[in-house]
Amino acid sequence: MKSKTVTIEQIISSAAGKRNQHLVQKTETKKTKQSKYKSQRVDEDGLTFDSKKEARRYKELRLLLKAGKIGFLARQVEFPLMIEGQKATSYIADFTYTDAETGIMIVEDVKSEVTKRLPVYRLKKKMMLLQHKIDVREV
């Protein structure tokens, strides 16, 4: 017995395909929703960044780490923000690292001109200074 090759198009246009259109309809891929601030998620070195600018800064910090200028580089570090002894919210820093010369921990956030002015960000930045004595560095 000789086997016959059948294409998807032939199946779809056949009587059985027409009776079962719900099974053979082509599905469209969903478009990814554009970010609120028009930033574009980026995958770099197996990591996902919220923007191209953040990924670029990570590369710069990796070079500084290799050169010995900074140490203990970390991403997405969470700092609890308390009100009356209870955790109200948290601040998630894009990057933290230590300055190799001074040993001081630096907390960095990659911000655009628009996101620098957001009230929630400005409030959390002030709370970081008051509660943790950390002045968040905007890059």
Domain of residue 127: give its range.
Answer: 42-138
Query: Could you tell me the pLDDT band of residue 38, with boundaries at 50, 70 and 90?
Result: low
CA distance 130 to 136: 11
Average pLDDT (72-92) is 93
The pTM (predicted TM-score) of the whole model is: 0.70
Phi, psi of 130 (to 5 degrees): -70, -45
CA distance 135 to 73: 17
- Residue 93 belongs to a domain: yes
- The separation between the first and the last C-alpha atoms of the chain, rounded to the nearest angstrom, is 71
| Residue, of 24 and 84, whose pLDDT is higher | 84
Q: Would you call 66 helix, strand, or coil by DSSP? A: helix
- Residue 132 belongs to a domain: yes
Domain count along the chain: 1
